[in-house]
A and B are shown apart, each in its own frame.
Chain A
């Protein structure tokens, strides 16, 4: 098949990035789809040929990822998010408005081929909810009028201006904030290398590569009490120290930027406004574990972020911060981006590695753990984008100073993306251990419309929800764990008194059923069953037996699934049934007491 020269070049570039050609499969499909609008048999054959794969290996991989399609979409593919943060701010109503306006339903294409519509899971615009994407452009803080204005421009052949940066990331600094990693947010051209260099950029790398030994860097990391910002909170220094020094195999460093946990949108602004900070952090981490190749795995929806990262990587190569013999230190490190294609599960570290190897994003059996057997079977460190972005600051200021910003065993600061029914949704950098009550009332400006607080999702939709009387808790890993929830990814979602908790549980379960990879029985069948039950229940067709059964089925998944996705689906559900059982009972009267039944729209 004859390819347009640009795509041909892109393909050649992609294939050259990996020691195993198959790794280029998903990016090649994504870029080919951008070119042709969909993936035809011809292009798949071409890709298979270039990667020495059989067609089944290509199609089974394709079938896993929700962004990849075998049929043409419209010229403008409209993706409306209805996940929790958007749900709380009118996402469903917006989706209905768009349906009416375009005259098409989910996954349909308008007769002219101009528009296609898809109801999508969290796109990482939680602090700008409700939000939608037009192709790869983000449009946030929407209402029906704004949406109409966007469609009018599109119909006139114009490109409406997308959101400049993630909504809520730029705001006046609050007194409570301690800007460490968000320091350069809002500086003009902050993503450019010169701006970065003028603002402490690439100072840590000089120190780490020329003045410190690997063990010294690990010591500083351990002292910093930096814990993984992806959600699990594993101590970063310790993770790095697990990589065997004597392994003859190459080592890999991966950045997990597959940010997909509903309610979480902090890696996006971090990468779009300060890509060099991440690159610098990765070079330092790579030097510690002796990796000479790194990949930044970015979720497919964040295409513009990938473009920003690609540009920053080029700049870093030009200035010798990447590549051979970095800054004359003798250390080599190659880095490139890798696009995902729509799969929450690929945020799980081993599933991400499978995906990066060009396969279906199934998690792997552990042990062995990635530190010994990771990407391509080699020792691998995988850290969240925010974790790696924190590394330069720790090297600059020293582990102790960083740790002192937080609380014991929970060092430093982190980004909280607070969304939902608050007056000032946004992304704030606060020290670990910051009180949740202050986060809601002070930082986020309290509950919108003067309403009362009902519930809080502390750190992404996998966490057990907290009730209004549980918010006097310090936001650090241990304190939140002590009250039965998790600090998670820092995606705090606030629910006011008018929120229907059954609907909320329903929407969460829709997400996990959609994102279950299907590998293991309890997650695959459990999420699907609970999704159907909760739909039926919320529609008013529930029975009293359903309530304990929702609880029990969730518990039947809990702790028994292959990876943590089953727990992620079970935990919030169990907490909702436990804490808001009365709302379930109210639904037994045949109708949702909080919303008209016709407003209920299911995802897929």
Chain B
């Protein structure tokens, strides 16, 4: 950005120097002077509609709106004169004339900006004795309701939907005092159901179908957690009453997501109280899963694990971990598998080739991994093989905001449609799956494309080579060699290029960093690296074999072939994910143990199911797809289930009593995180910011670039989740799937269903 000129002006007697172009309302805020407003919203276009921010300016005869007034040298602004106070009072009086004073039953009561403004600036009596304008409330979707009489027409919702979301589902109807907000589908909403309009509404005009008329805001406690769903790691504030999550929203905008949340972060918390939630252990007896006590279940698991290991040896045991359990749990699971059970057969569903990126960058990763903020701040974004609008909603939001606020340029190579292409300078539309070939051409000049694709690739190449400080984003299909091509092409960009692999789930990257991988140790250390092996052996008090294990897919196939006899599954649903033995138990499998929240397709065939706590019910850290680590907190007591952390720790004790391995002495996730910070390269993070609710970027990566690395075939693939699905967890989010839009797949075949997604 160019050097900023500064100006000096006076506000309420204080001399203020600020950058040229600053609005008076912002300059006032910098001085701690509140200029009230409803319609002004940082980052959205100016409206000057609510007239609350009127201030006096010397030499100007009329009061001026501070939200549109640019501070200039020598300007003298007064915000606390009797005239200004009267204007505010009068505006509030006008606003309340038709506003129903139903605050006692309004969802917004207690956190309503109009209430606050009235309290601070308003009158203590009403002079309006005429009939109020009234029309009935409208239900726009199962999760968005609109109450026109409460609406103050600040147009925040319209702007956030248009400018912020690029969905344009809201407009304004009629005019004058009858003006109202119009949804886009004949009185209904056909949109992304992100609920941003609800969050941004200063009053109770837009209310949430999941929350309305449930409680009062002061009856709840608030816990900020990273969202349990996609890999972007938005912070969602869980509002809890009587051990129940009643609402999720974006209360203080303190997360990496700023004010953004998508439908999942906002509405898909109800899985925690889903009726099918497993609340007590289940043990298979006489062919059917039956409730059991924790003692019986844990005894069953440890006894049979010990037995099976003795009978078949550790190589017949497979461990499949999760991409939504915490780093601490994954770290423990790693130790549990390699040291306690003695197997390197440990993996998870990899939804992006984080290993490939680590192998391509090596130690450079420290300065070369993009944060979510980098996406927003960058000069240019280069996107390959992903539909961030559906798969990485925060990434998409950051791109749009960058384009809007400082003309970030977006270049894309995509074989699939994406709404984000509207923001793009150049989109090279390659055949689906041909993105790696395109990267290869960019890096080496080798490859053939049809004339149109070739033409757009040539333009894209020239444009990117002239850019600097580019953020590169790529989806699951860009792996191994393709990532190397990408990194080699990106070496031609100016400035500092940063990369982000786009995975699918809340701790996809953390699972890779913590090495739920058959051939690596935490921090991407190769098993063949004897020094690293020795380091972790010492730390975990047990030997680690140097022979790489099987991938998750290979384990499932080996189970079908009766080579794997025991599968230990934590927070994963491999039967569904790998489409192996989806409908029945794998015949040769002797023991299947599952830790999960629900009786998934995999858990249904288990011998023992241990009910697990969700992200929102436990402590720990999660690493988003950008490597940003955040703490999750126990917002409610899960009432029955236990955290995977506790389960693994308890089992280690139980097995140690049977003579297998040593007990895990880490009592708490915090202790485990301390160990991670000390021992996992790239995770040497300051904990203060994390405790304060912030994020710190980890940079776990390979010790040296690995020029020949390629992931095993079929190991890395996207879940193809979109805005209304979330893997197995998504099936238990009733509100999310209750909308009409949830029934339409964005990449479906019928053009009519695509109409609003991509237009």
Contact = CB atoms under 8 A, between A and B. Distances in A.
A77 interface: no
B213 interface: no
Contacts of A331: none
A63 B321 CA distance: 55
Contact of B51 (A345, A365, A560): A560
Interface stretch (A83-91, A189-197, A313-321, A515-523): A515-523
A424 B49 CA distance: 44
Interface string A540-581: 000000000100000010011110000000000000000000
A521 B63 contact: no
Given A525-B98, A529-B128, A529-B130, A513 B177 contact: yes
A63 B95 contact: no
Interface stretch (A50-58, A246-254, A498-506): A50-58
A518 B168 contact: no
Interface in B680-732: none
B54 interface: yes
A407 interface: no
Given A59-B182, A525-B95, A556-B90, A562 B130 contact: no
Nearest to B48: A365
Contacts of B46: 365
B360 to A, nearest CB: 42
B168 A57 contact: yes
A60 B131 contact: no
Contacts of B87: 560
A569 to B, nearest CB: 11
A529 B62 CA distance: 23
Contacts of A507: none
A525 B177 contact: yes
A514 interface: yes
A428 interface: no
Contacts of A223: none
Interface string B117-134: 000000000011011010
Given A64-B174, A559-B62, A56 B182 contact: yes
B437 interface: no
Contacts of A57: 168, 171
Contacts of A525: 94-95, 97-98, 177
Nearest to A559: B62
A146 interface: no
A178 interface: no
Most buried by B among A524, A528, A562: A524
A59 B174 CA distance: 10
Interface of B: 46-52, 54, 62-63, 68, 87, 90-91, 93-95, 97-98, 127-128, 130-131, 133, 152-153, 168-179, 182-185, 759
The 6 A-B residue pairs whose C-beta atoms are closest, nearest first, are A60-B171, A518-B179, A528-B177, A532-B130, A525-B94, A56-B184
A522 B177 contact: no
A533 interface: yes
Contact of A524 (B63, B93, B176, B185): B176
A536 interface: yes
A60 B178 CA distance: 13
B626 to A, nearest CB: 33
Contacts of B184: 54-56
Contact of B172 (A360, A559, A561): A360
11 contacts: A56-B170, A63-B174, A514-B176, A521-B50, A525-B94, A528-B177, A529-B128, A549-B127, A560-B51, A560-B62, A561-B51
A57 B167 CA distance: 12
Contacts of A527: 176-177
Contacts of B182: 56, 59-60, 63
Given A528-B177, A533-B130, A559-B62, A56 B91 contact: no
Contacts of B179: 517-518, 524
A524 B47 CA distance: 15
Contacts of A56: 168-171, 182-184
Contacts of B176: 513-518, 524, 527-528
Nearest to A52: B759
Contacts of A365: 46-48, 68
A516 B176 CA distance: 5
Contacts of B90: 522, 556, 560
A522 B178 contact: no
Interface in A45-97: 54-57, 59-60, 63-64
Most buried by B among A56, A365, A559, A562: A56
A186 B175 CA distance: 40
A569 B170 CA distance: 30
A593 B114 CA distance: 42
Interface of A: 54-57, 59-60, 63-64, 343, 345, 360, 365, 513-522, 524-529, 532-533, 536, 549, 556, 559-562
Contacts of B175: 63-64, 343, 345, 360, 516-518
A252 to B, nearest CB: 23
Contact of B48 (A524, A529, A562): A562
A54 B759 contact: yes
Nearest to B89: A556
Contacts of B93: 556
Nearest to A530: B130
Contacts of B54: 560
Contact of A521 (B51, B131, B183, B759): B51
Nearest to B95: A521
A343 B175 CA distance: 10
A524 B153 contact: yes
Nearest to A55: B184
A507 B593 CA distance: 80
B152 A521 contact: yes
B130 A536 contact: yes
A389 to B, nearest CB: 31
A556 B94 CA distance: 9
Nearest to B91: A521
Contact of B49 (A64, A360, A519, A528): A519
A445 to B, nearest CB: 38
Most buried by B among A54, A525, A533: A525
A532 B131 contact: yes
A514 B178 CA distance: 10
Nearest to A512: B176
A365 B47 CA distance: 7
Contacts of A343: 175
A551 to B, nearest CB: 13
Contacts of B97: 525, 528-529
Contacts of B49: 519-521, 562
A518 B62 CA distance: 21
Most buried by B among A63, A64, A521: A521
A522 B172 contact: no
A533 B52 CA distance: 24
Contacts of B128: 529
A532 B129 CA distance: 9
Contacts of A345: 175
Nearest to A532: B130
Contacts of A528: 97-98, 133, 176-177
A516 B174 CA distance: 11
A283 B62 CA distance: 37
A248 B558 CA distance: 70
A360 B180 CA distance: 13
Contacts of A514: 176
A256 B152 CA distance: 32
A526 B170 CA distance: 26
A562 B174 contact: no
Given A59-B182, A529-B130, A532-B131, A522 B171 contact: no
Contacts of A55: 184-185
Given A56-B184, A365-B46, A561-B51, A529 B759 contact: no
A294 B178 CA distance: 34
A520 B50 contact: yes
A56 B189 CA distance: 11
B168 A522 contact: no
